[in-house]
Amino acid sequence: MTGTTYVDLLGQLSVRHDDRSVSIRSLKQRHLLATLALHAGQVVSHEKIIDALWGENPPATSLALVHTYVARLRKALQPGCDSFRADSASPSLIRHTGTGYRLDLGTDQVDLLRFLDLAAKAHGELATRNAERAEELFHEALRIWRGSVLADLDHRLGQDPVALNVVHVRLTSTLAYADLALERGHVHEAVRQLQSVTPEEPLHEGLHARLMLALAGAGQQAAALELFTTLRKRLSETLGIDPGPEIEAAQLRVLRQDLPFSGACGPRTAPWKPPVPAQLPLDIAGFTGRAEPLRQLDRLRAASGDPASGPAIAAITGPAGAGKTALAVCWGHQAQIHFPDGQLYADLRGVPPSAPRTTTETLSMFLRALGVPPEAVPDDDDEQAALYRSMLAHRRILVVLDNVSSSHQVRPLLPAGRHCMVVVTSRTEPTGLIALEGAQPIRLGAFTPQESSVLIRWLMHGDPAGAETGPGAELEQLSGHLPLALRLAVTDIDRRCVVSCSAAAATAPRTRHPALTSRPRTTPAQQQLAGNS
């Protein structure tokens, strides 16, 4: 019988002679062929064959039975060839060597051997930096894979060292191929190969990380993020652990659309980039004074970026109406060139009777501003904080946390990136933040008389006389030289009644402006002008 015999071990065992299928129905003969084919070209000892056929309890006549099964298998593979002699001139595929049997098939005649050969060549090309040829060879090797080794036979054969090794080679080859395919923009092929392996490797983070990037590159960002959520739950329920840095980094890259494509085949649209957040409130019109606090903020910003420290933190404190928010917002607008990745702002509502803003609310707001889709925002506070820190780790962002009630309210919102800066405003000094996180205190008091005069002159549209005599001086005293009270007082006064107001002030009790003791009734325009305390 002439022609070429092929044995396939990947998936179900099958035999072909040229293009004709060869039927081998006996289970023992199939186990025998599988054992010999796993080690094609090598001698398989009698003991190994007996163990593969019967396990720990072989019959007393096992060796004689092996000879019988070999003879029958020879006839099935090549009718008329049943010689047992090693020196026989018979062209039999199964050769007896005295200590065992050898199946004489070449690399191209056994799919498993062909797969291993192509994978080895691909890794060799990769080692020599021939990425294009390596990708071709990996792709050719992975196309051979039809399923698990000998999927239809006894599980003992799957524990053979060759079978175990080929599973490992398939995994490493898939990972290497995916890296090459993603770099070259072949995302759909990468998705297909990675998805074929993930059911067999449900906890492999590197595999899932690459699949996330491939899915996102194929325009399936939601599927990529859902894959992360599923793996995180599986790791927690199965092993009791959290996702490692590789899969977290992949999630972050998906969220940022930072995908590893250097050259796609065919036109591709530019990746979507989340907008740079610019959440600072409207700049304070006519901001004056506070020269030294502004210099303190500048010095703190200039000193940030130390590899041995975290983000710079400024804690602006002072009484109601001292202009803490105004200072933070005004300086933030002036310094925005130093924070090219944006500014985040949140009013934490730490002043009664308002209910304080929760950590979940603030982190969710920040994550959405950074481009995280709402469905991808974690429910757990710790997971939100971890994702928030990851997204800010290599960015230059200013974070303004206004109206803080305590250090505890601030800590989950602190970025880990040393190039970020945090400005906190509070009526009470956050001693814990200063002691443990190294926050720089910036304490605000009342304006000096000169600063009050400058502000009133601006509010009165540049009338110096109005600030130096008459109602200007009276307003300074009545307001306690606090910026908010000065603004509200001037806004409440009709300029056409300046003289009347001055006369009334001369006979009025020397009390503080209502803005400092009760909430003034102001129009929206006045509230915008005054700013928050």
pLDDT for residue 66:
93
pLDDT for residue 382:
85
Asked if residue 35 belongs to a domain, the reply is: no
CB 322 within 8 Å of CB 444: yes
pLDDT one-digit tens code per residue, 307-346 = 556 689 999 998 887 888 989 999 999 999 999 989 999 9
Asked if residue 428 belongs to a domain, the reply is: yes
Nearest to 428 by CA among 446, 406, 445: 406
pLDDT for residue 364:
92
Tell which of 443, 470, 502 closes a domain: 443
Asked if residue 431 belongs to a domain, the reply is: yes
Tell whether 359 and 385 lie within a shared domain: yes
Please say if the pLDDT value at position 293 is more than 50.
Answer: yes
End-to-end CA distance of the chain: 97
Tell which of 443, 475, 507 closes a domain: 443
Tokens of 236: 């927690």
Q: What is the mean pLDDT of residues 273-295?
A: 81
Tell whether 472 and 390 lie within a shared domain: no
Helix/strand number for the chain, H first, E second? 23, 11
pLDDT band (50, 70, 90) for residue 86 = very low
Tell whether 453 and 438 lie within a shared domain: no
Q: What is the mean pLDDT of residues 51-69?
A: 91
Tell whether 338 and 373 lie within a shared domain: yes
DSSP per position, 260-293: --S--SS--PPPP-PPPPB-PPPPPTT----HHH
SS3 445: coil
Taking the CA atoms of residue 77, residue 80, residue 82 and residue 88 in that order, the dihedral angle to the nearest 10 degrees is -110
Tell whether 371 and 505 lie within a shared domain: no
Tell whether 492 and 526 lie within a shared domain: yes
Task: Please state, rounded to an integer, the average pLDDT across all residues of the chain.
Answer: 80
Please say if the pLDDT value at position 500 is more than 50.
Answer: no
Considering only 53-62, 81-90, 172-181, 520-529, which range has the smallest mean pLDDT?
A: 520-529
pLDDT one-digit tens code per residue, 193-204 = 999 999 999 999
Tell whether 455 and 434 lie within a shared domain: no
Which residues are paired to 100 by β-bridges? 45
Please say if the pLDDT value at position 109 is more than 50.
Answer: yes
pLDDT for residue 2:
62
Q: What is the mean pLDDT of residues 285-302?
A: 84
Query: Which residue type sits at 101?
Result: Y
Please say if the pLDDT value at position 270 is more than 90.
Answer: no
Asked if residue 30 belongs to a domain, the reply is: no
Tell which of 443, 467, 495 closes a domain: 443
CB 238 within 8 Å of CB 204: no
Which CATH number goes with the domain that contains 410?
3.40.50.300
Residue with tokens 């005004």: 330
Q: What is the pTM of this model?
A: 0.57
Asked if residue 413 belongs to a domain, the reply is: yes
Full residue range of the structural domain in which residue 430 is found: 291-443
CA distance 395 to 416: 10
How does DSSP classify residue 150? T
CA distance 514 to 529: 17
Tell whether 317 and 367 lie within a shared domain: yes
Please say if the pLDDT value at position 87 is more than 60.
Answer: no
Query: Which residue type sits at 383?
Result: E
Which residues are paired to 15 by β-bridges? 7, 22
Considering only 1-10, 84-93, 412-421, which range has the smallest mean pLDDT?
A: 84-93
Q: What is the mean pLDDT of residues 245-272?
A: 66
Task: Report the number of distinct structural domains present in the chain.
Answer: 2
Tell whether 347 and 488 lie within a shared domain: no
Please say if the pLDDT value at position 163 is more than 60.
Answer: yes
Q: What is the mean pLDDT of residues 450-459?
A: 65
- Give the number of other CB atoms < 10 A from CB of residue 508: 11
pLDDT for residue 473:
54
Tell whether 337 and 406 lie within a shared domain: yes
Question: 448 or 279: which carries more pLDDT confidence?
Answer: 279
Please say if the pLDDT value at position 76 is more than 60.
Answer: yes
Please say if the pLDDT value at position 236 is more than 50.
Answer: yes
Tell whether 514 and 454 lie within a shared domain: yes
Alpha helices in 381-510 (DSSP H): 381-392, 407-410, 431-436, 449-459, 464-468, 471-479, 483-492, 498-507
Asked if residue 46 belongs to a domain, the reply is: no
Asked if residue 238 belongs to a domain, the reply is: no
Tokens of 270: 């530019």
Question: 379 or 407: which carries more pLDDT confidence?
Answer: 407
pLDDT band (50, 70, 90) for residue 144 = very high
DSSP per position, 340-386: TT-EEEEE---STTSPPPPHHHHHHHHHHHTT--GGGS-SSHHHHHH
pLDDT for residue 483:
57
Considering only 254-258, 305-309, 428-432, 460-464, which range has the smallest mean pLDDT?
A: 460-464
Tell whether 364 and 463 lie within a shared domain: no
Alpha helices in 184-204 (DSSP H): 187-197
Asked if residue 315 belongs to a domain, the reply is: yes
Query: Which residue type sits at 409?
Result: Q
Please say if the pLDDT value at position 441 is more than 80.
Answer: yes
